[in-house]
């Protein structure tokens, strides 16, 4: 755990303590369970985003993908009568295909990630609305999928299973990002893509894989979101989720220029964001101020981090100058 | 000095330098240098890479301060010039790398930041007036394009005309052209030389820096030759010819060729062979070149002669536009640098910090990067394997650093270069390409790098060394291939090595 992560964790605990003192309902099991469920859902989404951001890219279409794939999933199992495990795998494959398409456009046709995924944001939302004829996708009365519901929206020992899913995914992705050959390539490309290429890394393939990972994790979270809301109106479902994911990564210490950030960081970023949401509700702040609170906190967090960096760089310079002066005097 | 043009000789100089000296730590860049530029005079300035031309330009542009000496501009003596002072007294530069906004039109570029404004609080640009101001300038440089053309749509020579028009717009009295023709096709070069003649006719002085000596022959009134930071000589109009310039550039004291270290080596089999390779920069100039096992082939030539471009093709960064590559007699297809690395073809690139290493990664991480799967078990990086490889390279190469976990960004240039070498030596090189391997490196580290190259060659590796350092090329190579404007102009065997022969080939002439 880096110093940055530790600072974030302390911030989370301090904010939690303050909220708990003002409104003790914060610590009620039902509130904690609800919040951890949301952390699970948004965490899976944010980890996907983090893999793209580490390469210096960005994925703006994830909110629309959550809407489109969620709609399709419910349609597959509720209307078309597909077995849920089949539909589950199919949705993940569709997520992978979307990621592959984005990665291909970005690495082979050299389009900018922002542009490609912005178009994706518009296209997938449009397709989702067309698919349901601007209606709502949902389950018929009495339609039940006990196993699926247990895995996605159920609880074990009072803890939401979505939270367990996030923990499992986090462990796997931590190993991939911080211990695997692929993870090292991701960091190298994010730091300096040219130098990585000159070291014989097939940078195009690696970047494409990052978008595929993002697509698959987004698809998985789309299923979780769908089973959580149980009914989807594609015009609004998942709106702004890409911004939640990007915000979590940025709060967690990721640089949008690439090459910087840790898995623990993005997790803590997600936790802090959901804690803030919860704080708005519990402290009686008008929910219309929701976004303003989040934006404000992120801005302050990034500012403090950046100023801290400037301060340390200056101190290092002063130290070096002092050492240099001493060295010169000794000669 | 003898002037053929007496009318020029009679006038007082616009610019004169006296006894200018400039040192950098460990290097004397300019030493007691003096020269004069008279109004309406075209001076050709020549010298090898590193002779002190850039330092001279920096002093005239006000970017650096000379240690001693006097600079007299238009009758006023200065110890040094400032950037504003240089510009204010009418000295304008046209650099090899153009400083134009490609997304703006010609007029906007010429008067950027000095646009005529309409009356009123909105400070709108007076387009009509701007056009009127630009038209005569474009006419003077003989432009065949209009003021509202986008710069991106112009050819390189036309863009240079825009730069020169810009210089005229600030009422420049001395225009310094720094290798303006090195990236121009021949037809465009003629246009530029015509512009220089037009400037001269208007009484404007020109300093024309070029490696292309025949162009100097065509336009210069006088040639100033720099060598090792000193004035090697001045040639009057009548004495300007190719051989004279080359002789002055090398100097009478031809350095004794470094003795061949051992008995003549038996040439090995051809490792890397290029057959009619055409690089994207010089698509009309096919290159044939063989690099043999166990030899160091020096690749000499002037900056911009296409050496780095060739190395990029050999390393799979750029695709050749034609021809074929062979490795050990077998056809070789390279789609990327990864393909080259897989075949044992490695490149130590020219730009260490941008492409050679990742400054933010540690020594160990840089060294293992090209061969990471070999340092991993079941796709997971093994820190101990990585450290072991790096420790070995650190010891073998003498990399000076607290540990292999040190960030490479904190190392000196020489040690960074050793890290680049280390990452390839840790693998199994068949062909090693080194592009300016000792640039910006202190003498001690240089010698070590020469030793390493020789050891590689002795181990049967084919070594291709690109270098602009004449002594290095002659001292280290077993054979020297020289490039001129995208083509191999000749290959010298050890008994033909001399600075003069290399330089003659580099400017496209036959060796003696």
Over residues B22-39, the pLDDT tens digits come to 887 667 788 889 999 999
What pLDDT does residue A286 have?
86
- In angstroms, rounded to a whole number, what is the distance separating the alpha carbons of residues B407 and B359? 7
- Minimal C-alpha gap between A310 and chain B (Å): 18
- Minimal C-alpha gap between A263 and chain B (Å): 16
What pLDDT does residue A320 have?
63
Query: What is the Cβ-side half-sphere exposure of residue B492, based on CA atoms within 13 angstroms?
Result: 26
Handedness of CA B369, B373, B375, B381 (dihedral sign): positive
Q: Do A180 and B338 touch (CB under 8 A)?
A: no
Joined together, the tokens standing for residue A300 give 């302050």
Q: Do B358 and A191 touch (CB under 8 A)?
A: yes
Q: Do B361 and A181 touch (CB under 8 A)?
A: no
3-state secondary structure of B383: helix
The residue of A195, A258, A320 whose CB has the most chain B CBs within 10 angstroms, and thus the best one to mutate to test that interface, is A195
The residue of B311, B318, B337 whose CB has the most chain A CBs within 10 angstroms, and thus the best one to mutate to test that interface, is B337
- In angstroms, rounded to a whole number, what is the distance separating the alpha carbons of residues B32 and B248? 17
Q: Point out which residues pair with B296 in neighbouring strands.
A: B463
Q: Do A185 and B361 touch (CB under 8 A)?
A: no
**Nearest CB to B357 within list A181, A185, A195:** A195
Does position B144 have pLDDT exceeding 80, yes or no?
yes
Fold for domain B268-344+429-512?
A: Rossmann fold (3.40.50)
What pLDDT does residue B246 have?
80
Joined together, the tokens standing for residue B477 give 């190579």
The residue of B369, B390, B417, B419 whose CB has the most chain A CBs within 10 angstroms, and thus the best one to mutate to test that interface, is B369
3-state secondary structure of B290: strand
Q: Do A181 and B380 touch (CB under 8 A)?
A: yes
**Nearest CB to B355 within list A182, A183, A195:** A195
- Minimal C-alpha gap between B347 and chain A (Å): 8
Interface of B with A (CB under 8 A): 315, 317, 336-338, 340-342, 347, 349, 354-361, 365-366, 369-370, 372-373, 376, 379-381, 423
Which residues in A lie closer than 8 A to residue B342 (C-beta atoms)? 200
Joined together, the tokens standing for residue B275 give 């057959």
What pLDDT does residue A291 have?
84
Does position B183 have pLDDT exceeding 70, yes or no?
no
Which residues in B lie closer than 8 A to residue A191 (C-beta atoms)? 358, 360-361
Q: What share of chain B is helix, strand, coil (3-state, %, to 5)?
A: 35, 25, 40
What pLDDT does residue B407 have?
92
**Contact status, residue B282 vs residue B313, Cβ threshold 8 Å:** no
**Contact status, residue A223 vs residue A152, Cβ threshold 8 Å:** yes
Q: Do B356 and A195 touch (CB under 8 A)?
A: yes
What pLDDT does residue A50 have?
96
- The winner for highest mean pLDDT among B75-84, B142-151, B307-316 is B307-316
Domains B13-90+175-180+205-252 and B268-344+429-512 share a fold: yes
In whole numbers, what is the pLDDT of chain B averaged over residues? 86
- Averaged over B428-437, what is the pLDDT? 92
Does position B253 have pLDDT exceeding 70, yes or no?
no
What pLDDT does residue B2 have?
45
What pLDDT does residue A295 have?
87
Is the ipTM reported for this complex over the cut 0.90?
A: no
- Averaged over B496-511, what is the pLDDT? 86
What pLDDT does residue B258 have?
38
Cβ-Cβ contacts under 8 Å between A and B: the total is 71
Which residues in B lie closer than 8 A to residue A197 (C-beta atoms)? 317, 336-337, 355
What pLDDT does residue B171 have?
85
Over residues B256-280, the pLDDT tens digits come to 333 344 444 567 889 999 999 998 8
Name the class of domain A3-285.
mainly alpha
The residue of A200, A209, A316, A323 whose CB has the most chain B CBs within 10 angstroms, and thus the best one to mutate to test that interface, is A200
Please name the residues in contact with B264: beta carbons below 8 A apart, sequence gap of 6 or more: B494
Over residues B206-245, the pLDDT tens digits come to 999 887 788 888 899 999 998 888 888 899 888 888 878 8
Place B98 in a pLDDT band, splitting at 50, 70 and 90. Answer: confident
- Minimal C-alpha gap between A201 and chain B (Å): 6
Q: Do A197 and B336 touch (CB under 8 A)?
A: yes
Low-confidence ranges of chain A (pLDDT < 70): 320-331
What pLDDT does residue B26 have?
65
Q: What pairing do the DSSP bridges indicate for beta strands B222-227 and B230-236?
A: antiparallel
Per-domain boundaries in chain A? 3-285, 287-331
What pLDDT does residue B412 have?
80
Q: Do A198 and B372 touch (CB under 8 A)?
A: no
What pLDDT does residue B260 have?
41
Over residues A60-115, the pLDDT tens digits come to 999 999 999 999 999 999 888 888 999 999 999 999 999 999 999 999 999 999 99
- In angstroms, rounded to a whole number, what is the distance separating the alpha carbons of residues B83 and B94? 15
Over residues A19-42, the pLDDT tens digits come to 999 998 899 889 999 999 999 999
In whole numbers, what is the pLDDT of chain A averaged over residues? 89
Place B185 in a pLDDT band, splitting at 50, 70 and 90. Answer: low
What pLDDT does residue B128 have?
87
Point out the least confidently predicted range of A294-298, B142-146, B249-253: B249-253
Per-domain boundaries in chain B? 13-90+175-180+205-252, 268-344+429-512, 355-427
Which residues in B lie closer than 8 A to residue A188 (C-beta atoms)? 358, 361, 365, 369
Residue A246, Cβ neighbours under 10 Å: how many? 23
Phi-psi region for residue B32, left (φ > 0), alpha (ψ -120 to 50) or beta?
A: left
What pLDDT does residue A81 have?
85
- In angstroms, rounded to a whole number, what is the distance separating the alpha carbons of residues B315 and B431? 10
What pLDDT does residue A288 have?
85
What pLDDT does residue A281 have?
86
- B274 sits in which H/E element: strand B270-277
Q: Which residue of B has its CA nearest to A186?
A: B369
**Nearest CB to B381 within list A181, A191, A194:** A181
**Nearest CB to A194 within list B315, B354, B365:** B354
Q: Do A200 and B337 touch (CB under 8 A)?
A: yes
Is domain B13-90+175-180+205-252 classified as CATH 3.40.50.300?
yes
Q: Do B376 and A195 touch (CB under 8 A)?
A: no
């Amino acid at each position: 755990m880096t110093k940055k992560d530790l600072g974030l964790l302390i911030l989370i605990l301090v904010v939690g303590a303050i909220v708990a003192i003002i409104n003790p309902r914060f610590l009620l099991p039902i509130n904690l369970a609800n919040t951890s469920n949301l952390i699970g859902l948004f965490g899976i989404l944010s980890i996907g985003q983090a893999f793209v951001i580490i390469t210096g890219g960005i994925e703006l279409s994830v909110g629309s993908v959550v809407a489109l794939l969620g709609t399709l999933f419910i349609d597959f199992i509720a209307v078309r009568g597909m077995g849920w495990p089949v539909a589950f795998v199919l949705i993940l494959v569709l997520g992978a295909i979307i990621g592959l398409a984005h990665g291909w456009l970005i690495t082979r046709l050299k389009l900018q990630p922002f542009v490609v995924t912005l178009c994706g944001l518009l296209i997938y939302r449009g397709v989702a609305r067309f698919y349901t004829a601007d209606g709502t996708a949902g389950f018929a009365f009495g339609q039940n999928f006990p196993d699926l519901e247990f895995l996605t929206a159920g609880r074990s020992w009072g803890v939401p299973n979505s939270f367990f899913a996030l923990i499992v995914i986090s462990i796997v992705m931590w190993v991939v990002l911080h211990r695997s050959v692929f993870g090292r390539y991701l960091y190298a490309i994010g730091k300096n893509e040219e130098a990585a290429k000159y070291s014989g890394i097939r940078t195009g393939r690696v970047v494409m894989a990052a978008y595929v990972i993002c697509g698959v994790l987004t698809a998985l979270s789309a299923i979780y979101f769908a089973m959580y809301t149980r009914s989807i109106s594609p015009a609004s479902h998942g709106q702004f989720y890409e911004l939640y994911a990007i915000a979590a990564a940025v709060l967690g210490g990721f640089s949008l220029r690439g090459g910087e950030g840790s898995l623990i960081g993005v997790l803590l970023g997600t936790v802090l964001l959901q804690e803030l949401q919860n704080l708005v509700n519990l402290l009686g702040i008008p929910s219309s101020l929701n976004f303003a609170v989040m934006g404000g906190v992120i801005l302050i967090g990034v500012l403090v981090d950046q100023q801290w960096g400037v301060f340390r760089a200056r101190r290092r310079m002063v130290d070096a100058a002092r050492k240099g002066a001493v060295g010169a005097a000794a000669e | 000095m003898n002037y053929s043009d007496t009318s020029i000789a009679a006038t007082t100089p616009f610019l004169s330098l006296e006894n200018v000296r400039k040192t950098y730590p460990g290097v004397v860049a300019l030493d007691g240098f003096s020269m004069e530029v008279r109004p309406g005079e075209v001076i050709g300035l020549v010298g090898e890479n590193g002779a002190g031309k850039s330092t001279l330009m920096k002093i005239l542009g006000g970017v650096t301060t000379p240690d001693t000496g006097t600079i007299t501009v238009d009758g006023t003596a200065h110890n040094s010039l400032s950037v504003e002072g240089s510009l204010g007294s009418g000295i304008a530069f046209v650099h090899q790398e153009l400083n134009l906004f490609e997304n703006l039109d010609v007029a906007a570029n010429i008067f950027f930041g000095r646009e005529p404004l309409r009356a009123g609080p909105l400070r709108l640009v007076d387009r009509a007036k701007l056009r009127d101001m630009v038209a005569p300038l474009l006419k003077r440089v003989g432009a065949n394009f209009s003021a509202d053309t986008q710069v991106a749509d112009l050819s390189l020579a036309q863009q240079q005309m825009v730069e020169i028009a810009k210089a005229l717009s600030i009422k420049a009295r001395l225009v310094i052209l720094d290798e303006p023709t090195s990236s121009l096709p021949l037809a465009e070069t003629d246009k530029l030389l015509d512009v220089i003649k037009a400037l001269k006719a208007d009484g404007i002085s020109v300093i024309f820096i070029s490696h292309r000596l025949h162009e100097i022959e065509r336009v210069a009134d006088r040639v100033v030759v720099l060598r090792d930071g000193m004035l090697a000589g001045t040639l009057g109009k009548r004495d300007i010819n190719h051989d004279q310039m080359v002789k002055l550039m090398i100097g009478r004291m031809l350095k004794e060729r470094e003795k061949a270290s051992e008995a003549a080596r038996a040439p090995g089999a051809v490792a890397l062979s290029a057959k009619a390779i055409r690089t994207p920069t010089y698509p009309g100039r096919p290159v044939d070149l063989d690099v043999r096992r166990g030899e160091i082939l020096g690749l000499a030539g002037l900056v911009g002669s296409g050496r780095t471009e060739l190395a990029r093709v050999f390393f799979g960064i750029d695709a050749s536009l034609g021809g074929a590559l062979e490795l050990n007699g077998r056809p070789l297809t390279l789609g990327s640098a990864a393909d080259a690395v897989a075949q044992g073809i490695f490149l130590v690139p020219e730009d260490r910090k941008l492409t050679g290493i990742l400054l933010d990664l540690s020594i160990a991480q840089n060294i293992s990067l090209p061969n990471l799967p070999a340092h991993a078990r079941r796709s997971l990086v093994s820190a101990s394997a990585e450290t072991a490889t790096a420790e070995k390279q650190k010891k073998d190469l003498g990399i000076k650093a607290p540990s292999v976990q040190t960030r490479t960004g904190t190392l000196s240039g020489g040690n960074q270069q050793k890290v680049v070498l280390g990452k390839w030596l840790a693998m199994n090189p068949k062909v090693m390409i080194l592009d300016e391997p000792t640039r910006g490196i202190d003498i001690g580290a240089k010698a070590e790098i020469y030793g390493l190259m020789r050891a590689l060659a002795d181990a049967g590796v084919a070594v291709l060394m690109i270098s602009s350092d004449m002594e290095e090329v002659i001292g280290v190579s077993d054979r020297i291939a020289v490039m001129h404007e995208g083509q191999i102009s000749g290959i010298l065997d050890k008994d033909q090595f001399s600075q003069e022969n290399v330089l003659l080939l580099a400017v496209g002439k036959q060796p003696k």
